[in-house]
């Protein structure tokens, strides 16, 4: 968030009663008119601010609607979310991520929407993204990595979401290969990574994160009830979209920096810690056949390693897992 605005909110918060326009103008080193303009912007962002003559300003209540500003307020990341773009309704935050990448927006730009009307899932599936019920977000990254490493970023993103759920609740998140987040065997979240690359260098990656947060059962299509759920349904409570986005960005930045400095091993370890049915026997199926195998773990290229009953190990790049 623009730093004056951030300081202004801090000043308003730290004062028990009202704080005068003059004091704000002195402390922020801006004119009284500029203070007034900032107040107008805060109101637009949903802050309820009382203005009393000769006393000054006081925050009465905080916004319950999300904006780029409210998302940045209190966000303590170094680079992730330095540009935060919020939209009420978009076709897909992924499409906006690509547009912004082409406009030259920086590494760490984040796009969040209240609603997507053409949300995209993996394998050209549709991603249901109802208004205000979930996190529909894309992160633009410009990492100095080879295209072959892109799947590692997807696996990293999955561990971030599992860690988030683990930290904030008593739920036990699991990652179903490659990157579905499950709670109680039902899908809560999915990740879609799209990349633009030259032969040996990623130009940019757009990581799309969809999380079912506050849907009730009635908000999820009946034919999906057996396999899809939301954080609210599973935890029995509402989750703050704003705080959850901020926490994702915080964990993501930490894990991404760690990945760049120390490599894939910590991601692999984390992924396998949350990995669904790792060490267990499952049914694996492709278009042509299906067979039983034990899931062993993941490979640096994003493949799934499994061991057949005859002891032969195999690497899988696309398959469905059942149990």
Residues that bind ligand BTN (CB under 6 A): 92-94, 116, 119-122, 125, 127, 129, 136-138, 180, 190-192, 208-210
Name the 3-class secondary structure at 291: strand
CB of 191 to ligand BTN, least distance (A): 6
Name the 3-class secondary structure at 226: coil
Reading the block at residue 125, the tokens are 């599936």
CB of 30 to ligand BTN, least distance (A): 37
CA–CA distance from 177 to each of 8, 114, 300 (Å)? Answer: 45, 28, 13
Look at the block and give the residue holding tokens 């990995």. Answer: 275
d(CA 323, CA 311): 19
CB of 155 to ligand BTN, least distance (A): 14
CB nearer ligand BTN, residue 211 or residue 284? 211
CB of 61 to ligand BTN, least distance (A): 29
CB of 290 to ligand BTN, least distance (A): 21
CB nearer ligand BTN, residue 213 or residue 233? 213
CB nearer ligand BTN, residue 70 or residue 138? 138
CB of 112 to ligand BTN, least distance (A): 9
CB nearer ligand BTN, residue 42 or residue 206? 206
d(CA 219, CA 134): 11
CB of 270 to ligand BTN, least distance (A): 19
> Which H or E run contains 232?
helix 231-235
CB nearer ligand BTN, residue 21 or residue 208? 208
d(CA 218, CA 236): 14
CB nearer ligand BTN, residue 25 or residue 247? 247
Question: Is the separation of the CB atoms in 211 and 231 below 8 Å?
Answer: yes
CB nearer ligand BTN, residue 67 or residue 189? 189
Reading the block at residue 143, the tokens are 């990492």
The residues with which 314 forms a beta bridge, in sequence order, are 306
Q: Which residue minimizes CB distance to ligand BTN?
A: 190
Q: What angle do CA 8, 60, 4 make, to 5 degrees?
A: 10
Q: Where are the alpha helices (DSSP H) in 105-263?
A: 150-168, 231-235, 241-262
Q: What is the dihedral of CA 213, 123, 279, 162, to 10 degrees?
A: -20
């Amino acid at each position: 968030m623009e730093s004056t605005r951030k300081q202004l909110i801090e000043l308003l918060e730290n004062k028990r009663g009202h704080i005068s326009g003059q004091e704000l103008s002195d402390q922020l080193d801006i004119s009284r008119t500029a203070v007034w303009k900032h107040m107008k912007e805060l109101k637009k962002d949903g802050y309820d601010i009382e203005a009393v003559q000769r006393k000054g300003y006081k925050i009465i209540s905080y916004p319950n609607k999300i904006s780029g500003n409210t998302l940045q307020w209190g966000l303590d990341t170094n680079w992730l979310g330095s540009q935060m773009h919020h939209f009420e309704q978009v076709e897909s935050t992924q499409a906006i991520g690509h547009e912004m990448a082409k406009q030259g927006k920086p590494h760490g730009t984040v796009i969040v929407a209240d609603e997507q009307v053409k949300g995209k899932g993996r394998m050209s599936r549709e991603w249901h993204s109802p208004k205000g019920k979930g996190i529909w977000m894309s992160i633009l990254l410009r990492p100095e990595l080879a295209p072959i490493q892109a799947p590692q970023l997807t696996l990293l993103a999955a561990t971030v979401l599992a860690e988030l759920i683990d930290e904030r609740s008593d739920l036990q998140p699991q990652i179903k290969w490659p990157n579905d987040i499950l709670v109680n065997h039902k899908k809560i979240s999915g990740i879609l990574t799209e990349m633009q690359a030259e032969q040996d260098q990623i130009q940019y990656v757009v990581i799309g994160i969809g999380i079912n947060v506050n849907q009730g059962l009635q908000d999820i299509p009946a034919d999906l009830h057996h396999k899809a759920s939301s954080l609210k349904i599973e935890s029995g409570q509402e989750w703050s979209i704003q705080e959850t986005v901020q926490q994702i960005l915080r964990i993501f930045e930490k894990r991404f920096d760690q990945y760049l400095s120390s490599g894939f091993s910590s991601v692999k370890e984390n992924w396998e810690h949350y990995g669904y049915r790792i060490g267990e026997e499952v049914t694996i199926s492709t278009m042509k056949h299906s067979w039983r195998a034990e899931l062993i773990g993941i490979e640096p290229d994003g493949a799934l390693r499994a061991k057949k009953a005859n002891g032969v190990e195999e690497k899988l790049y696309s398959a469905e897992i059942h149990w």
